[in-house]
A and B are shown apart, each in its own frame.
Chain A
Amino acid sequence: MTNNPTDTQVIQDCTILSIRNLNVHAGNHHILKDINLEIPKNRITVLLGPSGCGKTTLLKCMNKLTDLYRELKVTGNIFIEDDDILNTSKNIPSIRQKMGLLSQRPYPLPVSIYKNVAYGIKLKGIRDRKLIDYNVEKHLKEVGLWNEVKDRLHSPATSLSIGQQQRLCLARGLAVKPRIILADEPTSALDPISSKIIENLFRNLKENYTIILVTHVLRQAIRLADHVIFMYNGEIIEQGTPDELFNNPKSEKLKEYMVEGN
């Protein structure tokens, strides 16, 4: 990145992902209603909202994971770097590699620690052993896991603690060199210390990645957010800077949520 302040300004004001008129239906249930939003590049955008308001569904749309669920009907546009991923003829797997997913619970693949990180790299078509080794090490270091696992890279990933597994999942997501990290309550299954580690990682990762974070922890949102989106019942009620939303909430719903949420 450059030191020129005006350049930095330009980069920061870029939108990396924008959503137009996104609607998701499951049968008669209207899960997401006319979602329109822009995700700023190299920032942490926090999605807030009560349980069942559609945060996870929104994240899954960005990654086209909604394809897995036949009952979901998705309409609208999602632009990522000029590709409308909902209506593109391009290769979906390579579009998905632009995003790393971190879910509520860690889901390590049923292979070794090493292969978990190498999985996405190999899918990119990289076969060079040395290059894979190098990247595995690099990304395990990036999430601060290298020293803990370097002597047992070939033992099953499930032998790690939950906190370590979550960091492994982050590492394997970073290994495909995504632009965006989609994190769905990534700390909700973790102890306070592991949560802190993940939070600090996010702060550092912001330099090179755009992060979209779903959280139920209001304090976490305040600590991390550059941009906040508040959802309620499938709709976006308010969005803006943390200062705007947390100090001067406009809608009753958000006021209520902030009182109950903390």
Chain B
Amino acid sequence: MFRRIFFDRTTKTWMITTMVIILLMPVIIGVGLYLKSLPLLEHQSLRTLLFTSDWQPSQGKFGFWPFVAGSIYVTLIAFVLSAPVCLLAGIYLTQFASSRLVKVMYPVIDILAGLPSVIYGVWGILVVVPFISKFLAPIFGTTSSGYTIMAGGIVLAVMCVPYMLNMITEVFKTVPMGLREASLSLGATFWESVKHVVIRKSYPGIISAFGLGIAKAFGETMAVMMVVGNRVQVHFNPFEAGYPLPALIANNYGEMLSIPLYDSALMFAALLLLVIILLINLIFRYFIFKTRER
């Protein structure tokens, strides 16, 4: 009896402790990064840090806009390319595909989602980069080395598809059969039922899958870094090289730390990444909340 109560109490304490640790983690990381980036924040105003493009660390000029813009651009391309594919593939797999195809596809998706990002990066260098320099850029009437924002976006899109598709199929699978039967019995066609009922019912889930996908894309480092060119510039042209935020940190940390404030600048970059990803999550939470309400 005593033993059981003892265990009951201690498990409770344990669970609360682990919960607190998990909850504190982002706070601790955030505070740590903030403290480390304080020297830079004292050196320059937040506005100039975020919205100027002058990146000359040796002269004490730190404009992060090229990196922020690069990240946003790459993520945007990845999202625009992958979201429709995921949605359509998810609908097809859960609503139309034969069970044999489904049995083959799910493990394939799982494997793709689990591949390390270096592999996607290598694939990008071998396939996507030449594809862009030889075919895509000429089609659009420009020349390009291939190591471009576009390459980063495509590689990222390919990485995001299995990741988001995994979540989206789960979402569609939770739509009860009875709901589809109800819609069909009212005279809807198969596709009308999918459109008005299955997708509608899945809105919150689709949005959260997209949100998680975007957050993952924004923070993805390795694969993007390998194909994106890593040049500090702001270009609207996707066939130019770019330099996303995570790549900045990964490429430079541990080098060039003799430059004053450089260390602090990289910490600030990490903080920026953290804040942006938190913001993306918050925005999508809000959307989910809004669609649930309806």
Query: Residues of A with Cβ closer than 8 Å to B?
Result: 60, 63, 65, 67-68, 70-71, 93-94, 96-97, 99-101, 103-105, 107, 109-111, 119-120, 123-124, 156, 169, 172-173, 176, 182
Query: Residues of B with Cβ closer than 8 Å to A?
Result: 98-99, 176-189, 192, 196-197, 200-201, 294
Q: Which residues of B contact A172 (CB under 8 A)?
A: 186
Contact of A70 among B99, B179, B201 (CB under 8 A): B99
Question: Cα distance A119–B187 when bound, in Å?
Answer: 9
Q: Which residues of A contact B189 (CB under 8 A)?
A: 93
Question: Cα distance A124–B188 when bound, in Å?
Answer: 9
Contact indicator B200/A110 (Cβ below 8 Å): yes
Across the interface, name the chain B residue whose C-beta is closest to A120. B186
Q: Which residues of B contact A169 (CB under 8 A)?
A: 182
Question: Cα distance A217–B44 when bound, in Å?
Answer: 78
Across the interface, name the chain A residue whose C-beta is closest to B202. A110
Contact of A96 among B177, B185, B200 (CB under 8 A): B185
Q: Given that A107-B176, A119-B196 are known contacts, is A65 also in contact with B185, CB under 8 Å in the complex?
A: yes
How many Å from the CB of A99 to the closest CB on chain B?
7
Q: Which residues of B contact A60 (CB under 8 A)?
A: 181
Q: Which residues of A contact B186 (CB under 8 A)?
A: 96-97, 119-120, 123, 172-173, 176
Contact indicator A68/B197 (Cβ below 8 Å): no
Question: Cα distance A99–B187 when bound, in Å?
Answer: 9
Q: Which residues of A contact B188 (CB under 8 A)?
A: 93, 119, 123
Question: Cα distance A105–B183 when bound, in Å?
Answer: 14
Most chain B C-beta atoms within 10 Å of own C-beta, residue among A65, A67, A94, A107: A107
Q: Given that A120-B187, A123-B186 are known contacts, is A68 also in contact with B181, CB under 8 Å in the complex?
A: yes
Q: Which residues of B contact A103 (CB under 8 A)?
A: 178, 181-182
Q: With A63-B184, A109-B182 given, name 13 new contacts (CB 8 A).
A: A67-B184, A93-B188, A96-B187, A97-B187, A103-B178, A107-B179, A109-B196, A109-B200, A123-B188, A124-B187, A156-B294, A172-B186, A176-B186
Q: Given that A96-B187, A111-B200, A123-B188 are known contacts, is A71 also in contact with B182, CB under 8 Å in the complex?
A: no
Please count the residue pairs between chain A and chain B whose beta carbons lie under 8 angstroms apart in the complex: 71
Most chain A C-beta atoms within 10 Å of own C-beta, residue among B180, B182, B183, B294: B182
Q: Given that A105-B178, A110-B200, A110-B201 are known contacts, is A71 also in contact with B184, CB under 8 Å in the complex?
A: no
Contact indicator A68/B180 (Cβ below 8 Å): yes
Question: Cα distance A71–B100 when bound, in Å?
Answer: 11
19 contacts between A and B (CB under 8 A): A63-B184, A65-B184, A67-B184, A68-B177, A68-B181, A93-B187, A93-B188, A100-B185, A101-B181, A101-B182, A103-B181, A109-B197, A119-B188, A120-B186, A120-B187, A123-B188, A156-B294, A172-B186, A176-B186
Question: Cα distance A101–B294 when bound, in Å?
Answer: 25
Question: Cα distance A120–B193 when bound, in Å?
Answer: 11
Q: Which residues of A contact B197 (CB under 8 A)?
A: 109-110
Q: Which residues of B contact A68 (CB under 8 A)?
A: 177, 180-181, 184
Q: Which residues of A contact B294 (CB under 8 A)?
A: 156
Q: Which residues of A contact B184 (CB under 8 A)?
A: 63, 65, 67-68, 93, 96
Question: Cα distance A108–B30 when bound, in Å?
Answer: 45
How many Å from the CB of A149 to the closest CB on chain B?
17
Question: Cα distance A101–B187 when bound, in Å?
Answer: 11
Across the interface, name the chain A residue whose C-beta is closest to B294. A156
Question: Cα distance A99–B184 when bound, in Å?
Answer: 11
How many Å from the CB of A81 to the closest CB on chain B?
16
Across the interface, name the chain A residue whose C-beta is closest to B98. A70
How many Å from the CB of B101 to the closest CB on chain A?
11
How many Å from the CB of A26 to the closest CB on chain B?
12
How many Å from the CB of A196 to the closest CB on chain B?
24
Q: Which residues of B contact A94 (CB under 8 A)?
A: 187
Contact indicator A71/B185 (Cβ below 8 Å): no
Contact indicator B98/A123 (Cβ below 8 Å): no
Across the interface, name the chain A residue whose C-beta is closest to B185. A101
